[in-house]
A and B are shown apart, each in its own frame.
Chain A
Amino acid sequence: MSQPVQFAPAAIRCPHCGHEVRYYDALQSAFFGCPACKTFFEYPEQGAPKQLRRFKDSPPPTIPLAVGSTGQLDSETYRITGYQWRCEAKGQSYRWEEFQLRHETTGANRQLAVFRGHWLLIEPTAEQYRASQGGLIEAEETDFQLYNRYSPRVLYAEGEFDWNVLSDESLTFSEYVGPPLMLVRERQNKNRDHWFLARHLEPAEVAEAFGVPRSQLPHRAGVGAAQPVPGFSKWPQLRTLALVMALVVVVTHVLLMLWGNETVFNREFVTEPLPTQPVTDSLGQLVTPNGPERQVLVSPSFAVPGTGALTVKLWASVDNSWVELPFALVNEQTGQQFAASSSLEYYHGVADGESWHEGNLNAETLLSQVPAGPYHLNFYPVADLSKPEAIQFRATVQARATAGSNAGLALLLLLLYPGMLYVRQILHESTRWENSDFSPS
């Protein structure tokens, strides 16, 4: 947890206004920023202090982390010894804040940078990296892609520094992102590069580390350069498990199909129109119906071997016509009925020199949880009244049927959440690269 700002053990006077600037690192610190008059000056070991610049810009009204306060990062205690407000030389609207951190016991330096509410913890690395022409760095753990290149301008600085922060204005920084990490190359006139490794920090981590309320930190906007995609930490496991489960569902469905779909009934029928007979209407007058009716057809008995789903497949030989086949599956022991209706139609012809066809000669119906036992089918055919002709049709019944929709539903449920997360990740990446001049797409 953080500790309150303690008085620094040493102090010097600002050469411009005489304000007492306190500092913690008597050995290393040689450059100072005065918060009272915004003067940046050098205090060499020997000789008089030198004023280097008087900043014209004023810092943001509330600096989120106070100079002199301490916090716990990676279980180590760091003190904030300096603060800078910077911008890009060619894009002064791109402004960020940097906090100089000093390890309380070892004196090692790190930096915290925040841009539009996105925090990075930066530390120097001895590793040397080589970027390809396309701006790609292939490292052991992940690849880094060039994201930004700029020279900085220092708008304001206060606290103590062991280097002249103004000299950074002559450097070119290149940022390569591999979320949640970032590599930063510091280059001056193509001399030896200095590399820094940065890591994205959530605002909550910063708030907890320095013991400040979350509301005190800058509001986060957009997507940070090294901000990991949603579900970053669990995505590899989630993706693998989802794909494995989807494969298991498909394999199980195939096995169920092989195990079931046993044909227990297969027979052809012919439905013929009954002779048309005049009937008497409510006034006692004889009228002729619009068309002929058809006889009810009853199938021979067949056995369903076990309780499960039944598929009733129908095929009819209709030609530029239609037939409706309502049917009932009747349990001969209990009288329980299952009913459904299938429409079969097929039309074809030639129009404007091109042949066309529509409709289907086949239909399939699935009946759930049909108990085992002897059954028969009753068909109540209805056909095109203008075509009083015989129609041949075939009925096939398969026991232990498998419902493809079950597999479809299972796949949908399994892939829904990973799919939504994947879409969010794509949108996240897209938003990230909107702020870059080096978008890979």
Chain B
Amino acid sequence: MDWLRSLWKIRFYALFAGLVYGSFVWAGLAGYRLLGDDNEASPNLNGTGRTHGSGGRALYFHK
């Protein structure tokens, strides 16, 4: 109990840690990568967001 009371000294960090953890759990359950994902297509619902060979080094003559 005393230890919990002593957390008052670090209330701002405790609040920040709670927010970080909450965001982490939400992102994990919602399938959201906080640092961005690998999707290269523009968000759309009509299926035209993708062009062939838009990424990587297509047709790059390797070695």
Contacts and interface: CB of A to CB of B under 8 A. Distances in A.
Interface in B1-31: 3, 6-7, 9-10, 13-14, 16-17, 20-21, 23-25, 27-31
Chain B, interface size: which category? 35 or more
Interface of A: 233-234, 237-238, 240-242, 245, 248-249, 252-253, 256, 307-310, 322, 324, 326, 328, 330, 334-343, 345, 347, 365-370, 380, 382, 384-385, 400-403, 405-407, 409-410, 413-414, 417
A304 B3 CA distance: 46
Interface in B41-62: 41, 44-50, 52-62
Contact of B62 (A249, A339, A345, A365): A345
Which A-B residue pairs are the 8 nearest by beta carbons? A308-B31, A335-B47, A341-B55, A309-B31, A368-B37, A339-B41, A341-B56, A410-B24
Given A326-B55, A326-B58, A367 B37 contact: yes
B42 to A, nearest CB: 9
Contact of A406 (B3, B34, B40, B49): B34
Contact of A337 (B25, B28, B41, B63): B41
A406 B34 CA distance: 6
23 contacts: A234-B10, A238-B10, A249-B21, A252-B21, A252-B25, A307-B31, A309-B32, A322-B62, A324-B53, A326-B54, A339-B49, A340-B38, A340-B39, A341-B54, A341-B56, A365-B38, A367-B39, A369-B37, A380-B52, A380-B53, A382-B56, A403-B27, A414-B20
A237 B7 contact: yes
Given A337-B49, A385-B59, A417-B16, 17 more contacts: A234-B9, A237-B3, A237-B10, A241-B13, A324-B53, A328-B41, A335-B46, A336-B44, A341-B53, A343-B56, A345-B62, A347-B63, A367-B37, A380-B52, A406-B27, A406-B32, A410-B20
Contacts of B59: 382, 385
Given A237-B9, A382-B59, A405 B34 contact: yes
B31 A370 contact: yes
Contacts of A380: 52-53
Contact of B56 (A310, A326, A384, A407): A326
Contacts of B61: 385
Contact of A343 (B7, B10, B57): B57
Contacts of A238: 10, 13
Contacts of A400: 31
A338 B39 contact: yes
Interface of B: 3, 6-7, 9-10, 13-14, 16-17, 20-21, 23-25, 27-41, 44-50, 52-63
Contacts of A310: 31
Contacts of B46: 335
Contact of B34 (A234, A241, A339, A403): A403
Contacts of A367: 37-39
A139 B35 CA distance: 49
A340 B55 contact: yes
B30 A369 contact: yes
A249 B24 contact: yes
Contacts of B7: 237, 241
A339 B21 contact: no
Contacts of A328: 41, 50
A395 to B, nearest CB: 14
A410 B21 contact: yes
B45 A241 contact: no
A302 B56 CA distance: 26
A368 B21 contact: no
Nearest to A326: B53
A403 B29 CA distance: 11
Contacts of B56: 324, 326, 341-343, 382
B41 A369 contact: no
Contact of A409 (B25, B35, B47): B35
B39 to A, nearest CB: 5
Contacts of B24: 249, 252, 406-407, 409-410
A384 B57 CA distance: 11
Given A334-B45, A382-B53, A401 B10 contact: no
A402 B34 CA distance: 11
A114 B40 CA distance: 65
B13 A410 contact: no
